[in-house]
Amino acid sequence: MITKKLDTTKENIKIAAQIIKAGGIVAFPTETVYGLGADALNEIATSKIYEAKGRPSDNPMIVHISRIEELDLIATEISNTAKVLMEAFWPGPITFVLKKKECVPSVTTGGLNTVAVRMPSDKIARELIKESQTPIAAPSANLSGKASPTNAMDVLEDMDGRVDAVIMGKECQVGIESTVLDLTSDTPVILRPGYITKEEIDKVIKIKTEFDNSLFINPSEKDFHPKSPGMKYKHYAPKAEFKIVKGNGIGIDKVIKELRDKAENEGKKVEVLYYGEDSEKAAKTFFADLRRLDREDVDLIISASLKPEGLGFSVMNRMMKSAGYDIICVEEENDDSIS
């Protein structure tokens, strides 16, 4: 298939919307990562997304809307808590899991009776949804298992020839996927941490949110049963070996240097990712960094852990998956390292 590369003109957004209406698939920018979209209510169209991505069919998609009125089309039993959260954070990088309406095909929701809904803030994304006159189901626009794309060139790397069109927008502002919050039980549960943090959510609602337990379990352990199907699959794996060095203080730099020197002496190409404590920057560039290091054929990636708080916690959720939980903890007192 020939993939149309569309600049972000009004005319081109209309062309992309025509493709969506006709049951095709289009990659488009959002403020989080690029999405691969299809008409959420057309099961033949959404099944094409699973095929293009090589995504397991039990991994549900997020359905994107451009106006609050579209929510009633696809979801039901919308609580007051949900309304307060939507008022506070939409449009923006947070997804709410709600009871689904009949019209949403089970292909879109991976067979679940719930639907994940988000109203993105990105102008192009909103215009595309509006012009398509239907909610758009869109997972991240990468091949399954690879890092989510945060710029149009990274989308093309995976999707050229596999999708009808790519809207060639700007680099994504946030850089990691949306927070996913399950609102189908009394306690709101964070299924996937994202740009909007637990602290921010807890400020606007009376009930305290909880993290899904599986966020703290290495997926290779046997009692790993995440509520969000997507969290159980291998994610963001770079070609290189990836080690995270965790701890605080000077010991970290020493351990990173030792790891780097040892690997370089073995003739390996090494890259150290430095984000310091800048979790905004880490969120914005981490996925693009992984893809660049794949292209550069790096053998070993080393990164210091970010403080697992707020946005740092969300970035670490991705980083730990990429590294296959290969974490070296640095003891503070004596700077010894233990694997």
Q: Which residues bind Mg ion (CB under 5 A)?
A: 140
Question: Which residue has its beta carbon closest to ligand AMP?
Answer: 230
List the one residue out of 85, 42, 87, 94 whose CA is nearest residue 64. 94
Q: Which does 49 bind (CB under 5 to 8 A by kind): Mg ion, ligand AMP, none?
A: none
Region of 42-50, 54-62, 151-159, 251-259 interacting with ligand AMP (CB under 6 A)? 54-62
Report the residue from 115, 136, 306, 328 that binds ligand AMP according to the rule CB under 6 A. 115
Number of residues that bind ligand AMP (CB under 6 A): 20
CB-based contact 156:166 (threshold 8 Å): yes
Query: Is residue 229 close enough to count as binding ligand AMP by CB under 6 A?
Result: yes
Grouping H, G, I as helix, E, B as strand and the rest as coil, residue 300 is strand
Quote the tokens at residue 294. Answer: 């794949």
Grouping H, G, I as helix, E, B as strand and the rest as coil, residue 200 is helix
Q: Which does 192 bind (CB under 5 to 8 A by kind): Mg ion, ligand AMP, none?
A: ligand AMP
> Least separation, in Å, of the C-beta of 73 and ligand AMP?
16
> Least separation, in Å, of the C-beta of 292 and ligand AMP?
21
Question: Which residue has its beta carbon closest to Mg ion?
Answer: 140
Query: Is residue 59 close enough to count as binding ligand AMP by CB under 6 A?
Result: yes
CB-based contact 194:111 (threshold 8 Å): no
Contact pattern for ligand AMP over residues 267 through 306, marking x by CB under 6 A: ----------------------------------------
CA distances from 189 to 32, 213, 249 (A): 20, 9, 33
> Least separation, in Å, of the C-beta of 300 and ligand AMP?
27
Name the residue nearer to ligand AMP (CB basis): 275 or 287. Answer: 287
Q: How far is CA 76 from the centre of its chain?
A: 25
Query: Is residue 114 close enough to count as binding ligand AMP by CB under 6 A?
Result: yes
> Least separation, in Å, of the C-beta of 55 and ligand AMP?
8
CA distances from 301 to 170, 219, 298 (A): 27, 21, 7
Q: How far apart are CA 97 and CA 119, in angstroms?
A: 13
Query: Is residue 163 close enough to count as binding ligand AMP by CB under 6 A?
Result: no
Q: Which residues have CB under 8 Å from 191's CB, separation 6+?
A: 97, 180, 181, 182, 212, 226, 227, 228, 231
**Which 84-113 residues touch ligand AMP, going by CB under 6 A?**
97, 109, 112
Report the residue from 228, 279, 322, 337 that binds ligand AMP according to the rule CB under 6 A. 228
> Least separation, in Å, of the C-beta of 312 and Mg ion?
20
Query: Is residue 12 close enough to count as binding ligand AMP by CB under 6 A?
Result: no
Question: What is the number of helices (H) and of strands (E) in the chain?
Answer: 10, 17
> Least separation, in Å, of the C-beta of 90 and ligand AMP?
16
> Is residue 95 packed enough to be buried (19+ CB in 10 Å), middle (13-18) or exposed (0-12)?
buried
Contact pattern for ligand AMP over residues 172 through 211, marking x by CB under 6 A: -----x--x----------xx-------------------
Query: Is residue 337 close enough to count as binding ligand AMP by CB under 6 A?
Result: no
Q: What angle do CA 235, 238, 241 make, to 5 degrees?
A: 115
List the one residue out of 99, 115, 108 whose CA is nearest residue 42. 108
Q: Which residues have CB under 8 Å from 180's CB, separation 6+?
A: 62, 95, 97, 116, 190, 191, 192, 194, 228
> Least separation, in Å, of the C-beta of 98 and ligand AMP?
8
Positions in the binding site for ligand AMP (CB under 6 A): 59-62, 97, 109, 112, 114-116, 139-140, 177, 180, 191-192, 228-231
